[in-house]
């Protein structure tokens, strides 16, 4: 969501993200970003839960969100594409099983320098509002199908 909806380049430092947001008022917390991949590496945070989120809300609901499940689904797929792009670039790596988790933790625990290590992520989805077709979600090859 930070990358896609807030248009933050999470491969940059938090300070660079804040500097780029100076004067923007489209979101309530502009200039107050708190996370980025380089900052995670500096803090030796090598693993996170990566949440896809896109709330479906009815037209009479005042909460922010998408007005159809299809829109919410498309938003989560954009977020998923961002994670896949980060994997392809070597910025992140998806953890889908215990063996991968053990290997990733060992990599981070034994590294003297973490500045170029991929940040591991366990993919999650907040709410199931965006599901429009369970068959697509469970389709072999989908990043989440292994979970």
Q: Could you tell me which residues come within 8 angstroms of residue 67 by beta carbon, excluding any fewer than 6 positions away?
A: 56, 57, 58, 59
Calculate the alpha carbon distances from 127 to 52, 92, 122, 131 in Å.
9, 23, 16, 9
Calculate the alpha carbon distances from 11 to 1, 21, 96 in Å.
14, 15, 23
pTM summary value? 0.83
Tally of CB atoms within 10 A around 48: 16
The dihedral built from the CA positions of residue 32, 75, 132 and 98, taken in this order, carries a sign that is negative
The tens place of each residue's pLDDT in the chain, 147 residues long, gives: 889 888 999 999 999 999 999 999 998 889 988 899 999 999 999 999 998 888 888 888 888 888 888 888 888 899 999 999 999 999 999 999 999 999 999 999 999 999 999 999 999 988 777 677 655 555 555 555 444
């Amino acid at each position: 969501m930070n990358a896609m909806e807030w248009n933050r380049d999470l491969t940059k430092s938090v300070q660079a993200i804040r500097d780029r947001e100076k004067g923007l008022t489209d979101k309530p917390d502009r200039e107050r970003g708190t996370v980025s991949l380089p900052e995670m590496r500096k803090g030796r945070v090598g693993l996170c839960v990566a949440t896809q989120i896109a709330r479906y809300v009815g037209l009479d609901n005042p909460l922010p969100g998408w007005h159809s499940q299809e829109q919410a689904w498309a938003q989560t797929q954009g977020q998923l594409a961002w994670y896949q792009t980060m994997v392809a670039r070597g910025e992140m790596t998806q953890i889908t099983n215990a063996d991968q988790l053990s290997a990733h933790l060992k990599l981070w625990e034994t590294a003297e320098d973490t500045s170029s290590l991929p940040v591991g992520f366990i993919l999650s989805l907040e709410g199931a509002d965006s599901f429009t077709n369970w068959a697509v979600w469970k389709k072999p090859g989908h990043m989440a199908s292994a979970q």
